[in-house]
Amino acid sequence: MSKKSSYLLGIILTIILGTILYYFLCCSVCCGKESCKNKVDETKSVITPEIKDATKNAFVLKDANGDFNLNLRENFNFKSSNFSILQPVSTNIENGVVMLKDYLLTNPLKTVDITGFYKSDETNNSAYPNLGIARANSVKNYLVLHGISSKQIDTYGKLNDGINADESKTLFGPVEFGVATADASDTSAIEALKTACDAIRANPLVLHFKTGQASINLTPEQRQKIADISHCVDKLGVEIQVVGHTDNIGDATNNIVLGQQRADFAKGYLVKNGILEGNIETSSKGPNLPIADNATEAGRAENRRTEITIN
């Protein structure tokens, strides 16, 4: 056999051997053999996301030591990562609030506990320590605007990852309610509150600004202080005082205006977060009350501030 013939025979044998191996080793995905043991079960590779039913909490409010019992299918609803009550509020809720108001008016030692729920994957865009407190505060304001005294309302926040929103990211009733009866002879709670309010007067909430800036970025400690200030307003009837200050750079008259703008901005922020506008007074001291040396940038940064306190 010639060298050329041997070469061609080798090529043919290689092709035949390759075809045989391909036939026996190829998965049916490649060769169409349905009985192939190496076939990938495509149904197992597709992960179907778990769809959780939306949680729908009823408006339940019962006085274990009285005759008030309210159980409504509807409730106050919110969008995820939001603390504003979705409108409109149902007629049943409105009627229930009227009944609650009448009950509290005839029972001045009764208080309503509002606990707002929040989830760990939500973003807290409120001024409060968590969205739960912010939501409870929104419901509190709704009750106050409908004639219920804020002195008979307590607000709380609670982490609850067991609540689920619907496809439109609506949370149905992420709040729960309770009724408590105060002991008229026990003044410990009000005394503790007065102490906390005195601490705010001694150490006001201070917000700092860059030159020409009027934005707010709160620390966790500042969020808690806003919650405490709101509580003092609700329970003691005090007013919030917001005073804007500036450094001494620029015209003094313009700085008075800038200080007022900062104070008004802070007021608007508080109102957006559920503190009633009528409880807030604003003013500006401009550059007139520095707390640091305006000769240094660090000192000027300290002087560019808004102070929030209570009277």
The answer to whether residues 176 and 57 touch, using CB atoms and an 8 Å cutoff, is yes
What's the pTM?
0.79
Among residues 184, 234, 228, 183, the alpha carbon closest in space to that of 203 is found at: 228
Contacts of 176 (CB under 8 A, 6+ apart): 57, 60, 114, 115, 117
> Residue 25: its pLDDT value, please?
57
Among residues 288, 299, 273, the alpha carbon closest in space to that of 243 is found at: 288
- Classify the phi-psi angles of 137: left when phi > 0, otherwise alpha if psi is within -120 to 50, otherwise beta: alpha
Which ranges in the chain are annotated with CATH 3.30.1330.60?
189-310
Give SS3 for 291: coil
Measured CA distances, 97 to 92, 129, 156, 215 (Å)? 9, 27, 19, 36
> Residue 29: its pLDDT value, please?
47
Among residues 95, 90, 96, 85, the alpha carbon closest in space to that of 62 is found at: 96
Per-residue pLDDT of the chain (311 residues; tens, 9 = 90+): 565 566 556 666 666 666 665 665 554 444 454 444 454 455 555 665 566 799 999 999 999 999 999 999 999 999 999 999 999 999 999 999 999 999 999 999 999 999 999 999 999 999 999 999 999 999 999 999 999 999 999 999 999 999 999 999 999 999 999 999 988 888 898 899 999 999 999 999 999 866 555 557 789 999 999 999 999 999 999 999 999 999 999 999 999 999 999 999 999 999 988 898 999 999 999 999 999 999 999 999 999 999 999 99
Contacts of 62 (CB under 8 A, 6+ apart): 68, 69, 70, 71, 179
The answer to whether residues 67 and 100 touch, using CB atoms and an 8 Å cutoff, is no
272-310: buried (b, 16+ CB within 10 Å) or exposed (e) per residue? ebbbbeebbebebbbbeebeeeeeeeeebebbbbbbbbb
> Residue 4: its pLDDT value, please?
57
Domain 189-310 has CATH 1.20.1530.20: no
Domain 59-183 has CATH 1.10.10: no
